[in-house]
Amino acid sequence: MPKKILMCSPEFFDIEYEINPWMHVGNPVQPDLARQQWQLLYDIYTKRLGWEVSLIEPVSGLPDMVFTANGGLVVGDRVALPKFRQPERQGETAHFERWFQQRGFTDIWQPTHDFEGEGDALLWNRVLFAGYPWRTDRPAHAELERFFGLSVVSLQLTDARFYHLDTALAVIDERTVALYPKAFSADSLERVRSIVPTVIEATDEDAVAYGLNSLSDGHSVVISDRATNLISIYRQRGLDVHPTPIGEFQKSGGGVKCLSLELRDLVV
């Protein structure tokens, strides 16, 4: 089934504040290049892969709204809204909420603890891998478990450069995830290995190139073009790989996955 994705054009995207180690206000975005990179990703999804992309209107003064993965977690008709840690991003929530309301989602809820949407919550089969502590509080995981009725596996992130789970772990298919081992506590790493049959380990270079911030439907993988080792591993495994440049977004600590929120029909 083609994936359904929510994206937001980078019209107002820039580095206006610093809330992760990648962001430097002295290293601004090149708007034309960002626009081009975003459009390329949009075209891969829609033209090459036939995925369905919906758009949310960008808002001036909310430069990180382009990273729709943080706009919620959607499973079927249920939506968990984000509760952003940083004041700079808190204004985004109302816009995402309105978009979901207008699209007919009725079961919209917000946790009481900090939670940054799919950036920190990745669904693998019926297991929800949830990251903490940089942007999402661990008690939010129990709230998600209750709301979605999914079993949540909490994963502790230990490297500030990989502050959202989706920067350090990628779901590839129902038997496989890829991850950057050094971004996780030993216990958390063990937990993933005990549940997932195949765990692909990313090199330092691929992790720093944001190669884990990718999107896969189990057949096609869209990934940063600088993650050369992962690209060849995936190709050797028979996957259809679509490398694409995301350099302008990485200036903000974002990549392919951060730019995409999955609108999942149901849990398979």
Query: Which residue in 13, 41, 62, 70 binds ligand ARG (CB under 6 A)?
Result: 70
User: Facing residues of 179 across strands?
Assistant: 169, 201
CB of 262 to ligand ARG, least distance (A): 12
Residues 97-136 as x/- pattern, contact with ligand ARG by CB under 6 A: ----------------------x-----------------
Give dist(CA 107, CA 46) in Å, integer: 28
Using the rule CB under 6 A, is 92 a contact of ligand ARG? no
Q: Which is nearer to ligand ARG, 10 or 253 (CB)?
A: 253
Per the listing, tokens 């075209």 go with 43
Give dist(CA 203, CA 205) in Å, integer: 5
Using the rule CB under 6 A, is 82 a contact of ligand ARG? no
Give dist(CA 87, CA 218) in Å, integer: 36
Known catalytic residues are 164, 258
Q: Which is nearer to ligand ARG, 37 or 252 (CB)?
A: 252
Q: Which stretch binds ligand ARG (CB under 6 A): 40-48, 64-72, 95-103, 183-191?
A: 64-72
**Where do the H-state alpha helices sit in 21-177?**
31-43, 87-90, 92-102, 138-148
Closest by CA to 240, choosing from 223, 262, 227, is 223
Q: Which is nearer to ligand ARG, 169 or 172 (CB)?
A: 169
Give dist(CA 91, CA 268) in Å, integer: 33
CB of 159 to ligand ARG, least distance (A): 13
Residues binding ligand ARG: number (CB under 6 A): 16
Buried-exposed string 219-238: b where 16+ CB fall within 10 A, e elsewhere:
ebbbbbbbbebbbebbeeee
Q: Which is nearer to ligand ARG, 99 or 162 (CB)?
A: 162
Using the rule CB under 6 A, is 166 a contact of ligand ARG? yes
User: Facing residues of 129 across strands?
Assistant: 122, 153
Q: Which is nearer to ligand ARG, 82 or 243 (CB)?
A: 82
Binding site residues, ligand ARG, CB under 6 A: 19-20, 23, 64, 67, 69-70, 89, 119, 164, 166-167, 252-254, 258
